[in-house]
Amino acid sequence: MDINKKLQQFLSTNDENEILEYKEAKNQYDFDKIGKYFSSLSNEANLIGKSEAWLVFGIKDDKSVVGTNFRTDTKALHNLKAEVANHTTNRITFKEIYETELDGKRVVLFQIPSAPLGLPIAWKGHYYGRDSSELQPLNLEELERIRSQNSDFDWSIQICEDATNEDLSSEAIQKARELYAIKNPKLADEIKAWDDTTFLNKAKITIKDKITNTAILLLGKSESEYLLSPAVAQISWILKDKDNIAKDYEHFTCPFILSLEAVYNKIRNLKYRYMDGNSLFPQEVESYHPFIIREALNNCIAHQDYTMGGKINVVEFEDRKLVFANKGAFIPQTIENVLKTDAPEIKYRNKFLAQAMINLNLIDTIGSGIVKMFTIQSKKYFPLPEYELSNDSVKVTIEGKVLDMNYALKLASVPDLSLEEIILLDKVQKGHSLSSDEVKVLKAKNLIEGKRPNLHISSSVAKYTNQEDEYIKLRGIDDTYCQSIILEYLAKFKNATRADFEKILLDKLPDVLDEEQKKNKVKNNLQALRKSGKIEPEGRTWHLSKTKKV
């Protein structure tokens, strides 16, 4: 390539755009910014169908040549290729780095490859793009546009070129043999006769004796994790108190087949004793069903987007709550899609890894794991799993206790309620918003009352769940409370306006009422006391009646 001709072409025809960036870089330039520009320019080149993009040092935005002293040592300059590769998706780095002179001033040109089909390029786990010449996070539409170009790409099946069987843990391989034999009992005797290479091929963990990313992830020695870089093979367990302050932590790496059990054993699965005397309740249960812990953790491993360079987090709270988080968008898009389908996914992010985990009896093939998690929680009257989904992460929260014996969880014991209805009632008791169609589903069975967003359990359900007192409180028992406070205030301070009473009472009224409804309740109680002859108005103020009735 005639780099001088290329540079002259840029300067004569092109201002900065999605695939061309000028930087003065007079002496040095921030390494992290270089990485972000690499990600953004590579992704933008893909999106507009170009094979490459360029980052140019020594030229200002107005295309005036000022020269650069960035890494004047040639070896140090070209070391930047490896340094950048350590933090990008699949270690993709500069095609080439060129040095030239223009008007006696040094210019450095970085040739950046377009992101491969179906593979957006991340820098330190984050995807970047451009809006004209502005650096910014790659938006979700662009991210999915790149990913959809080649839905067959699978990070987990890629060959780890520098790895050998020596990089695998013998203890992990033995554990894998045991699990494979459980999954395939008819092959138990044959499995014993296989050498490690044969076993790994048969279990579809390696491919024709070659070590895959899956093999390192599940069976690799801890010191072999670097072979997956920039992917991160790490699970962090963190213990926090009720104030979200970390009290303990531990990090686990390869081999994941052994780390799974180690993480499970860190979680304090204490007994939970029900405080309600209702005979429907068992006396005590484990805070977390073992299946739920293992399913949530295995899902994190199987569905993590390892190209993003993030780790898996398991956060345990002392007040009986677990939060599992992994990197990568939720492929089914919504949890409702999974629950309604209750079938295996058509598309997997890590198809080879998922199949290996199936072969080792770590996950099943029927796709019912999440539904089973919901069912287990509902039968214990615990809150249902709470999923928080974004374009680059999935987080699920598992409660290990009953919250206030609220209605929705008690209704899990009502025989004719479907899982869909229990899920919607769980939303109501958590204060989540419901769509108009979801409200119709619950109102059709008289399960809720009120209007959005102020929905609450209906009286018929309240009676079934022995919660009449709470229901009545929401509907009107607070009238007596309001009136007693009004009378006590006037007895002490002689007079007050309606605004004074609103200041005193609004924050004491049920949260099921909005501010306007609360103000109306204050107004109605003042009028009720007036009609009963206990108070009377004088202009805009109220005072006790001179012939106050008690």
Residue pair 370/338 in contact (Cβ under 8 Å)? The answer is: yes
- Are the C-beta atoms of residues 537 and 495 closer than 8 Å to each other? no
CB of 356 within 8 A of CB of 158? no
Q: 């009735």: which residue's tokens?
A: 549
Q: How confident is the model at residue 34 (pLDDT cuts 50, 70, 90)?
A: very high
What is the model's pLDDT at position 335?
86
Euclidean distance between CA atoms 107 and 19, whole angstroms: 18
Q: Of 99-103, 149-153, 376-380, 417-421, which has the strongest mean pLDDT? A: 99-103
More confident: 437 or 131: 437
Give the per-residue pLDDT at 477: 44
Given this model, what pLDDT does residue 185 score? 95
The CA distance from 71 to 80, in Å, is 9
Mean pLDDT of 273-282: 61
When comparing pLDDT for 274 and 111, which is higher?
A: 111
225: its two tokens? 């994790």
Average pLDDT over residues 262-278: 83
Of 86-95, 107-116, 372-381, 442-451, the range with the lowest mean pLDDT is 442-451
DSSP state of 401: S
Contact 92, 50 (CB under 8 A): no
Q: Is the pLDDT of residue 413 over 60?
A: no
- Taking 80 as the threshold, does the pLDDT of residue 85 lie above it? yes
Q: pLDDT value at position 161? A: 83
Q: Any bridge partners for residue 122, and if so which?
A: 127
Which H helix or E strand runs over 129?
strand 126-131
User: Is 535:488 a contact under the CB 8 Å cutoff?
Assistant: no
Does residue 95 contact residue 11 with C-beta atoms inside 8 Å?
no
Of residues 357, 150, 323, 112, the one with CA closest to residue 238: 323
Region 138-154 average pLDDT: 82
% of the chain exceeding 90 in pLDDT = 56
* 526 to 248, 476, 478, 518, 540: CA distances (angstroms): 55, 15, 13, 13, 12
- Residue 486 burial by CB count (10 A; 0-12/13-18/19+): exposed, middle or buried? buried
Instruction: Please write the tens of the pLDDT for every residue from 460-514.
Output: 544 554 554 554 455 544 677 788 889 988 988 889 999 999 888 887 776 656 7
Q: What was the pLDDT predicted at 281?
A: 61
305 sits in which H/E element: none
Confidence at 445, pLDDT banded by 50, 70, 90: confident
What average pLDDT does the structure give for the chain?
Answer: 87
Residues shown for the chain: 550
What local confidence, expressed as pLDDT, does residue 12 receive?
A: 87
- The pLDDT assigned to 290 comes to 95
Percent of the chain whose pLDDT exceeds 70:
88
- Mean pLDDT of the region 57-79: 94
Give the pLDDT confidence score for residue 242 in this predicted structure: 86
Q: Note the Cα 510 to chain centre separation in Å.
A: 32
Q: Supply the pLDDT for residue 396.
A: 97
**C-alpha span between 470 and 162 (Å, rounded):** 65
Beta bridge partners of 239: 248, 316
pLDDT score for 549: 47
Q: How far apart are the first and last CA of the chain?
A: 100
Residue ranges of domains in the chain, CATH in brackets: 3-149 (3.30.950.30), 157-228 (no CATH), 235-399 (3.30.565.60), 414-461 (no CATH), 469-544 (1.10.10.10)
- What pTM, to 2 d.p., does this model score? 0.62
Q: What is the CA radius of gyration of the chain?
A: 32
Alpha carbons 192 and 32: distance in angstroms, whole number: 50
408 pLDDT band (50/70/90 cuts)? very low
Is residue 236's pLDDT more than 80? yes
pLDDT in tens, 509-544: 766 567 887 888 889 899 999 999 999 999 999 999
Amino acid (1-letter code) at residue 91 = R
According to DSSP, the β-strands at 448-451 and 393-399 are unpaired
Max Cα distance, the chain (Å): 104
Predicted local distance difference test score (pLDDT) of residue 550 = 44
Hey, is 102 helix, strand or coil?
strand
Average pLDDT over residues 286-295: 95
Taking only the tens place, the pLDDT of each residue in 188-226 is 999 999 999 999 999 999 999 999 999 999 999 999 999
| Region at 244 (left for phi over 0; alpha for psi -120 to 50; beta for the rest) | left
Name the β-bridge partners of 65.
59
Alpha carbon distance 371, 364 (integer Å)? 13
> 154 or 408, which is more confident?
154
Q: What's CA 511's distance to the chain center, in Å? A: 29
Cα–Cα distance, 550 to 547 (Å, whole number): 10
Q: Does 18 or 234 have the greater pLDDT score? A: 234
Separation between Cα atoms, residue 179 and residue 359, nearest integer Å: 8
Q: Tokens 């209906």 — which residue?
A: 458
Chain segment 364-375, per-residue pLDDT in tens: 765 678 999 999
Contacts with 36 (C-beta within 8 Å, 6 or more apart), sequence order = 123, 128, 135
Question: Which tokens hold the place of 148?
Answer: 């959809």
